Structure 1
Amino acid sequence: MVASLPARLLPSLAVAASLAAPLGCASGGSASVDVTQRRVEVDVLWFGQDAAGFHGGMTPTEVRLEPNDTDRIRVGIFEGASLQAGAAWRAAIWLATLQAAMELGVDPARWVVAVETESLDRIDGPSAGGLLTAAIMAAMTDAPARPEASMTGTINPDGTIGPVGGIPQKLEGAIAAGKTALGYPMGQRRADDLATGEVVDLERRFASDAVRLEEVRDVRQAYALLTGREAPPQPTVTRAEMALPRRVEDALTAQARSWLGAARLSRQEYDALGGPADAWIDARWEATADDRRAVESLVIAGEAAPAYWRAARLSVNARSLGILGTLRKLAAAGDYAGIERFSAGLSGKLERRLHKTVEALEAAGDSTPDDLVTLVDGLEAFGAAIQSLDDALRHQRDNALALGMLVGGLSTGELAATPERHGHLVDLMFGLLSPIAIAEVNATIATQNLGFRAAGGGGRGVPGEQLGRIVALLGVAAKANLTYFETTTLAEVARHHGVSVERVQAAFQDVSYRHARKDPRAFEAILAKHLAEDSRVLQAMKLAAAFSAYVATAVLIAKYYSLGFETDVAGAVTGVRRMSALDAMLERAEVKARAHAARARAITGAVPIASRIAYQIGRASHAEGGLDDKVEALEQYWRSSLLSMLVAIGEGGTRRSPGEGAGLAPARP
């Protein structure tokens, strides 16, 4: 598997866990270019509002590269006045550096990257990500930027261009300043005019004999728009070539059936308790029955990966519901000793499951790029399991006194056994035990993932210093993304509802956000408790943590900035401003997943199994058509791309020349 279990158990309970992965370099090619200082000048498009209304403009921005004499990734951000560069602007530059290196297949520590803006006004927002990535690529390949060209659009983890706001105002400002070749994100030909509140057709309104508009799909097209140098199209594998080997399909199907059986067992164990009917619990059991039938249909249809994925979520939901129902029945019966026995039994089972997973992780090889993908994929799931266990232990510590006094008082009769006290007891115990349901499933996923190696996979060993550099870059990018999200989206939610940002942060239940808030260093510390101090998987563990945080924050930016998700104070989606753009993003993300798979196959001889599983889950979710399904499909396509790109680190770790294997020729005099 390549993702965690974002299972929503009940309306009031968001169950979060996660997985992810990114980065890599292309194979092939032997071109070498001498590196001296390089400069590329671009104009960043923006929109703003003053007393006269909404308007657009441009900010001159310079990208400079010079040789880096260290092994550290170095990115400098310079501004025309103190504290004018916001969190999102900084994040966009870090992400552009990462994406340019990924697209060209080179070591991101090859250069010192400096980006300087001349603006004396505050500049912020991720909408220049696509332009900045293309500009850094131009500098890396020594290709000058065309002064008449610019564009707007975010940069997604797979290199596609994401939607933004204020496009009509940006284009008006750019055209007034003399730009004649302008790009806008795929799927946004029809965009909101902030000045009039109307939806306008960009081509009809702005295109002319003098001005050419272009709908930009990905960063390679952005590079071509900016430089005038056509980037050769990326080869892709076919959809059929993303199919899973029979041995993997059989293993996934077998595990899906096992989880189906576990879901049935959870219901049977609950029913065996007897006692009065619980209408609230029974209604939710019916919902899990519908989910079970859906998984059974996928198994019968031979859809192994989506059956596996949905069976995992079903198992979490059924297990959690069984825990909650059992606690309610035992409390209602006054069986407080039974509650303690039930808790001890669940904890013991999880410890045994985690022990088996640790043994599998310690035995895993990580010498080749393909091994690395397998290991990172397993560590992602194991990390989710351990984090769930840590959540349970933290809950136990925070509530130990209250729980002890409540159970003790009810057991001795010092406290009257009222429905309110029983409800409080159930709430406390469920907070302790419900994470176990998530941990059990993720621990199982981790063990199974480690067995999914592509036959014939190979490649050179992965240099440790290369992994360290990528971990550092992803960590900085993830932190910048999170800061931007909290200081914009969450701050706006807080203002709208008249509450503090801190309250929104505590209440916001988006799965990606809850995961992104977890400190990767805490993730590493938790895992280190369960792995030997000299374990060779510790470095891969750090990579897995950085990848998780990066993908989680990328999903946040896509949902709440690019697509314009609107929410209430708890994060429940109440509307989507740019729904049509999501379909365009999905279409391109599916193609990019197959393009990055082709890159990985060129290096190792096979597409990573983890990449194929994520792709298959994405395809199934894409076909469902609901909003949640589409967002899940987008995330899975991104993960498929990024896992494939990770394979290429083995090649990129020793490549220090720009342009090798990138399919982009350096500029000629």
Structure 2
Amino acid sequence: MIVRSGSRAARGILATVVLTAVLAASGCTFISDAIVDSATGGGGGAGGFASSETELQVLYAAGDTGGVATQRISVSPSDDGELSIDISEDEVSGVGDMTQAASWNAVSVATLLTGAPLDVSYRFAFDGRIDGPSAGALTTVGILSLYYGDDIADDVTMTGTINPMGTVGTVGGIPEKVQGVMDAGTISTVLIPAGQRNVPDAAGNLVDVVSLGRSGGVEVVEVADVYDAYPLLTGEELPRPADDAAPAISDAAYTKFQSAGDAMLATYDRALAEFAALDPVVQQAAGTIPAEAAAYADRARQLQVQALQGGAFFEASQAAAVMQATASTFRTVQDLFTSGGNAIGARLEGAASAEGEFTAFLDQLSTYEPETLADAEALVTAYGNAFDSYTLLQYATASLQRIADTIAAAGYTDFEQLLTDALTPLIYYDLARGNLAFAQAVFDIGRDNGGAPIAEDADLEAIASFFRRAADADWAAFESGVIQPIAESRGESNDVFRTALSAVDTDVALSYTAQQSVASIEQYLGEGSNAPYAAMGYGYVNYARNAVLIEKYYNNGVLDDNLQVVGVSSETILTSALDLGRTQTARGAGILAAEGTAPVLIAGAYEQAGVAREGDVANKFQAIAQYSGAFVLSRILAYAGGFEGSGYVAG
């Protein structure tokens, strides 16, 4: 759950900003890791695992054809009690960054879907040169088969990525992979992502891969998620998420959400009045941003009437964040007209105060003593939101400092270029500060709501480490699988293209800057009792966000020339991700409730995601991110409560 103010907000902000006469059009999307004896094959595996080793047939594409490689997965007790992953290869540089990250992601997803132990060691051995995430779904099924003790059929394989909730994502090169299977003659069935029956080959010709496979005696079957794929690969059913009811919010939490929502709407009203006091020309330059903020406020009030106070609070928070950022940013724009570059310097002078607010909030969190899982939910979420605020502030401040340096060197020859360069970091700066206030509100809502205790033997550091490393692996995959190839195709460096993409998608800016900032944050936190919760906050937020970045930019999103997501390559995959996301989130919340904890913030995020999924394509991807984050947080809490396997027992 990425419960951040403005998650969808600034998609409207900069996408609709037209600074007439002086500003070129600019688009921006905003935030808006019990030991038992292990056998050497076929028998019992590490603690909790029914088997210890399996072998998979992995597909790859090469030029106008493809082939079949072998991947062996084994699991054993960890030497040091921490989850670890080892990847071996029979070629120098035979396994690329994307495949390494896909292996991490497969472990992450399989762990989420089973409650598998975090004190085991996985080994992935590959024959041949493989890169890309397209074996992610198959690898996930392989790990699941080890956990449940089911054998993988040797004549069935699959291609497709995997996301945190278990949906199978789109991939390229399917015609070539099917042709490679036909040429090999050892596989009878190939599973592909739903919606990818008709796809282009390497030459750009549209190919019906079901018909192609049939011509060579290979059955090609579309699957939407691991629950579809598992029985086709093993002959056994995978425990499916039950159709749980929507997460319920307690009366006390209802009142908290309502009060906080009202406060956010009041903040919106004040910011609107401040904006209205600006010069009419500057107001006009803001384009439709105020209307976007008003739409969030209207939805918040409508949700309040429907008694959906959680969703209303988050919508109201977005309204407040957008309007506050708009008023403050365009006040600076107005100051730029009157005092030139001095207005940028004034903003930079305020950065130290903003950092002080962040460290003060961290100090407040460090003294809080969580007793229940609801307290842990609040603390982890607060840390995640605070880190996002700090990360965005760092990104914006660095950008504004570059602008100030250019001004000092007389590097701007016209005012229009100054405004063009300044607008995005100014909005990010203001949203960062507003998001910190949101983090405080979320913490106050989520804390002290009762519930089941945190398990005395819960290894909080292991939980935190697992999700932090999973997040970092996903970012490495995004860098090597998205940033690098697109940058090369545009004749740009990775830094130049990443900066351009960060300007239109705040999640990219957040994820990249988080990588750069985490060391300084960890140093500040030290080894205090709440440090594991802080690491969980970083881990779950960035894991969910980075996984959706891959889903959006590598798998399914269609971009226009301005790098805006304007469509998807598979509506089937998008719908499946939304539906399974909703189901998995409800299931995760239902398990918590059955164990004595009614999650508050997860329920609120569930309500807001229900609104986002009805919006445009960009909003739908944001809903997937919200479902992913909420589901991941529910599983973190299950581990912290000591009932991570509850609800995931094979029938």
Aligned residue in 1 for 2:429: 435
Aligned residue in 2 for 1:328: 333
Query: Does residue 664 in structure 1 map to residue 650 in structure 2?
Result: yes
Larger Rg: 1
Query: Out of 227, 232, 247, which is 2:252 matched to?
Result: 247
Aligned residue in 1 for 2:229: 222
Please report how far the alpha carbon of residue 554 of structure 1 lies from its aligned counterpart in structure 2 after TM superposition.
Answer: 0.4
Contact 1:207 1:213 in 2 (8 A): yes
Please report how far the alpha carbon of residue 642 of structure 1 lies from its aligned counterpart in structure 2 after TM superposition.
Answer: 0.9
Contact 2:231 2:238 in 1 (8 A): yes
Alignment of 1:607-622 (within 5 A): 607-622=598-613
Contact 2:135 2:160 in 1 (8 A): yes
Provide the TM-score with structure 2 as the length reference: 0.83
Aligned residue in 2 for 1:413: none
Query: Does residue 594 in structure 1 map to residue 586 in structure 2?
Result: yes
Query: Does residue 102 in structure 1 map to residue 115 in structure 2?
Result: no
Query: Out of 234, 241, 249, which is 2:241 matched to?
Result: 234
- Partner SS for 1:133: helix
Deviations 1:374-394 (A, max 9, x none): 211111112222334434554
Query: Does residue 511 in structure 1 map to residue 506 in structure 2?
Result: yes
Aligned residue in 2 for 1:635: 625
Q: CA 1:535–1:474 in structure 2 vs 1: closer, same or farther (change >3 Å)?
A: closer
Identical pairs, percent: 23
- Partner SS for 1:136: helix
Q: CA 1:518–1:283 in structure 2 vs 1: closer, same or farther (change >3 Å)?
A: closer
Alignment of 1:551-562 (within 5 A): 551-562=544-555
Q: Greater relative contact order (Cα 8 A, min sep 6): structure 1 or 2?
A: 1
- Partner SS for 1:320: helix
Contact 1:236 1:595 in 2 (8 A): yes
Query: Does residue 116 in structure 1 map to residue 125 in structure 2?
Result: yes
Query: Does residue 139 in structure 1 map to residue 146 in structure 2?
Result: yes
Aligned residue in 2 for 1:45: 59
Query: Does residue 63 in structure 1 map to residue 49 in structure 2?
Result: no
Q: Which amino acid aligns with 1:647?
A: L
Deviations 1:280-319 (A, max 9, x none): 1366445544544444434344443333223222222222
Q: CA 1:447–1:497 in structure 2 vs 1: closer, same or farther (change >3 Å)?
A: same
Deviations 1:69-120 (A, max 9, x none): 321222111112111111111111112222223322121322x21111121x
Aligned residue in 1 for 2:19: none
Deviations 1:335-375 (A, max 9, x none): 99999889888986x67965774465245333444432221
Aligned residue in 2 for 1:157: 164
Query: Does residue 186 in structure 1 map to residue 194 in structure 2?
Result: yes
Query: Does residue 522 in structure 1 map to residue 517 in structure 2?
Result: yes
Please report how far the alpha carbon of residue 269 of structure 1 lies from its aligned counterpart in structure 2 after TM superposition.
Answer: 2.5
Q: CA 1:95–1:519 in structure 2 vs 1: closer, same or farther (change >3 Å)?
A: same
Instruction: Give me the whole-angstrom Cα distance separating, in 2, the residues matched to 1:283 and 1:104.
Output: 46
How many residue pairs end up in the alignment?
A: 621
- Partner SS for 1:59: strand
Please report how far the alpha carbon of residue 447 of structure 1 lies from its aligned counterpart in structure 2 after TM superposition.
Answer: 3.6
- Partner SS for 1:10: helix
Q: Which amino acid aligns with 1:481?
A: D
Q: Which amino acid aligns with 2:171?
A: V
Contact 1:316 1:441 in 2 (8 A): yes
Aligned residue in 1 for 2:38: none
Structure 1 unpaired stretches of 5+: 24-31, 407-417
Alignment of 1:19-98 (within 5 A): 35=46, 38-49=52-63, 54-98=64-108
Instruction: Give me the whole-angstrom Cα distance separating, in 2, the residues matched to 1:335 and 1:502.
Output: 29
Please report how far the alpha carbon of residue 146 of structure 1 lies from its aligned counterpart in structure 2 after TM superposition.
Answer: 1.6
Instruction: Give me the whole-angstrom Cα distance separating, in 2, the residues matched to 1:346 and 1:468.
Output: 32
- Partner SS for 1:98: helix
Contact 1:187 1:583 in 2 (8 A): no
Tell which deviates more after alignment, 32-41 or 181-190. Answer: 32-41
Deviations 1:224-261 (A, max 9, x none): 3322222343334123xx23234333433333333333
- Partner SS for 1:255: helix
Instruction: Give me the whole-angstrom Cα distance separating, in 1, the residues matched to 2:169 and 2:301.
Output: 36
Contact 2:102 2:477 in 1 (8 A): no
Deviations 1:192-236 (A, max 9, x none): 45566225273x664699765544343344333322222343334
Across the aligned residues of Structure 1 and Structure 2, the Cα RMSD in angstroms comes to 3.8
Contact 2:182 2:217 in 1 (8 A): no
Contact 1:369 1:647 in 2 (8 A): yes
Aligned residue in 1 for 2:479: 486
Please report how far the alpha carbon of residue 458 of structure 1 lies from its aligned counterpart in structure 2 after TM superposition.
Answer: 0.8
- Partner SS for 1:518: helix
Instruction: Give me the whole-angstrom Cα distance separating, in 2, the residues matched to 1:127 and 1:557.
Output: 12
Q: Which amino acid aligns with 2:135?
A: A
Aligned residue in 1 for 2:310: 305
- Partner SS for 1:565: strand
Q: CA 1:300–1:140 in structure 2 vs 1: closer, same or farther (change >3 Å)?
A: closer
Aligned residue in 2 for 1:650: 640
Provide the TM-score with structure 1 as the length reference: 0.81
Q: CA 1:314–1:137 in structure 2 vs 1: closer, same or farther (change >3 Å)?
A: same
Instruction: Give me the whole-angstrom Cα distance separating, in 1, the residues matched to 2:239 and 2:341.
Output: 69
Instruction: Give me the whole-angstrom Cα distance separating, in 2, the residues matched to 1:439 and 1:193.
Output: 48
Q: Which amino acid aligns with 1:226?
A: L
Aligned residue in 2 for 1:445: 439
Contact 1:275 1:329 in 2 (8 A): no
Please report how far the alpha carbon of residue 651 of structure 1 lies from its aligned counterpart in structure 2 after TM superposition.
Answer: 5.0
Contact 1:186 1:585 in 2 (8 A): no
Aligned residue in 1 for 2:380: 376
Tell which deviates more after alignment, 327-336 or 380-389. Answer: 327-336
Contact 1:87 1:124 in 2 (8 A): yes
Query: Out of 269, 272, 275, which is 1:267 matched to?
Result: 272
Aligned residue in 2 for 1:412: none
Aligned residue in 2 for 1:565: 558
Query: Out of 303, 317, 324, which is 1:319 matched to?
Result: 324
Please report how far the alpha carbon of residue 157 of structure 1 lies from its aligned counterpart in structure 2 after TM superposition.
Answer: 0.7
Instruction: Give me the whole-angstrom Cα distance separating, in 1, the residues matched to 2:541 and 2:485.
Output: 26
Contact 2:351 2:397 in 1 (8 A): no
Q: CA 1:399–1:233 in structure 2 vs 1: closer, same or farther (change >3 Å)?
A: closer
Instruction: Give me the whole-angstrom Cα distance separating, in 2, the residues matched to 1:506 and 1:351.
Output: 23
Contact 2:60 2:177 in 1 (8 A): yes
Contact 1:357 1:443 in 2 (8 A): no
Q: Which amino acid aligns with 1:56?
A: G
Q: CA 1:511–1:651 in structure 2 vs 1: closer, same or farther (change >3 Å)?
A: same
Q: Which amino acid aligns with 1:387?
A: T
Contact 1:129 1:153 in 2 (8 A): yes
Contact 1:368 1:462 in 2 (8 A): no
Q: CA 1:337–1:246 in structure 2 vs 1: closer, same or farther (change >3 Å)?
A: same
Tell which deviates more after alignment, 262-271 or 430-439. Answer: 430-439
Contact 2:158 2:192 in 1 (8 A): yes
Deviations 1:620-660 (A, max 9, x none): 11123x1112111111111221111111112559x9xxx88
